Structure 1
Amino acid sequence: MSHSPHPDSNHKTVCCAIVTVSDTRTIETDKSGAIIQQLLKDANHQVADRKIIKDEPSLLQEYLELLGKNKNLNAVIFNGGTGIAPRDTTYDAIAKLLEKTLPGFGEIFRYLSYQEIGSRAIASRAVAGIYKHKLIFSLPGSSNAVELAMKKLIIPELIHLVGQVKS
């Protein structure tokens, strides 16, 4: 069931960057990044940048700081590195830079994930927030998780949230 409390203009295009966090993926093998890119394109949004970065906190923070300087960019969608394994450092690197958080994103994402994968959803540290007037989403790297977050949460609210950040 999809709820839309208020209509958003379908004429707005949101400019996004996609960052896949992985020590092993390439653009050719990055299925999750490709899903994000296709779903954004299908929703008439622009992908200004797509990159793969190793799961190293300093590299993630440096790249987010660089993206924060791009005046045309509205949102950054990270995927990968949100679990609890020793190499999963995306949450730790990004969360400390967020100026505001959207706790509901992670809560609802884990709830929706629980409905699909059961109690293993508790290991997800998916997070969203604001950094330098840009929406930041950090998703797990699994293709199913990416598709769930994009279709059920991000795409339906992207225009509205960008409008809120800009107002």
Structure 2
Amino acid sequence: MPKIDESLEFIPVRIAVLAVSDSRSMADDVSGETLVSMIEKAGHIVADRKIVTDDRPLIRDTLQAWVDSDDVDVVISTGGTGLTGRDVSVEAHRDVYEKEIEAFATMFTIVSMKNVGTSAVQSRATGGIAKSTYLFALPGSPGACKDAWNEILIWQLDHRHRPSNFVQMMPRLEEHKRPR
């Protein structure tokens, strides 16, 4: 049964938050603010926060800059995961990924179905890894951000979570690049 091992000390991770929107500003970015609030409440560090338009190269370049930074462990974007022509966050994330975490999308769909039913099929939430950085693309609604955080990410970004979690794998994400 999954649980938190209280005998271990909590280790905060550094998380960057990206809102993808053609119409929002920092003042009215409810989903980004929701993520920031949950990240800080959990004891993690908000390493950076930005808003960019629905532009694939701009999203990709922002993600890549964070992946290349030693100050960011995880990137969570919100917005641009739908089916419309301007929804390009998933494609931009995949431009950066070295490995995709396919099960993240599956788990997100299962979690979303509890709240939005079959409308969950319209989301293309995704997760992946680049260098030693985890990246997650979430839908642009505060509810979707809460679902992903409360049901998946809060647990996987806590190294005390058992039987396993993303944080305990961080030191090994680039082991294939070390000489044997």
Q: Same fold judged by TM-score > 0.5?
A: yes
Asked if 1:161 corresponds to 2:166, the answer is yes
Q: Return the letter of the residue paired with 1:23.
A: D
Could you list the per-position Cα deviations for residues 70-95 of structure 1 after superposition, in whole angstroms to 9, with x for gaps in the alignment? 11210000000000011100011112
Counterpart residue number, 2:74: 75
Contact 1:55/1:88 (<8 A) preserved = yes
Q: The residue matched to 2:157 in structure 1 has which SS?
A: helix
Q: Return the letter of the residue paired with 1:94.
A: H
Instruction: Kindly name which structure, 1 or 2, has the bigger radius of gyration based on alpha carbons.
Output: 2
Task: Kindly report the root-mean-square deviation, in angstroms, between the aligned alpha carbons of the 2 structures.
Answer: 1.4
Distance 1:153 1:134 in 2: 17
Distance 1:122 1:52 in 2: 26
Residues matched between the structures, number: 165
Deviation larger for 97-106 or 29-38: 97-106
Counterpart residue number, 1:126: 125
Compute the TM-score of the two structures, normalised by the length of structure 1: 0.93
Could you tell me how far 1:68 is from its partner in structure 2? Answer: 1.4
Q: Return the letter of the residue paired with 1:36.
A: L
Distance 1:147 1:6 in 2: 20
Distance 1:27 1:163 in 2: 33
Change (3 A) 1:6 1:41: closer
Could you tell me how far 1:101 is from its partner in structure 2? Answer: 1.3
Distance 2:26 2:104 in 1: 27
Q: Return the letter of the residue paired with 1:152.
A: E
Query: Which residues in structure 2 correspond to 1:92-111 (within 5 Å)?
Result: 92-111=91-110
Could you tell me how far 1:10 is from its partner in structure 2? Answer: 4.1
Could you tell me how far 1:165 is from its partner in structure 2? Answer: 2.5
Distance 1:135 1:68 in 2: 8
The partner residue of 1:4 within 2, 6, 10 is: 2
Distance 1:38 1:83 in 2: 24
Compute the TM-score of the two structures, normalised by the length of structure 2: 0.87
Change (3 A) 1:64 1:130: same
Task: Point out where structure 2 has 5 or more consecutive residues left out of the alignment.
Answer: 159-164, 173-180
Change (3 A) 1:4 1:131: same
Could you tell me how far 1:141 is from its partner in structure 2? Answer: 0.3
Contact 2:108/2:148 (<8 A) preserved = yes
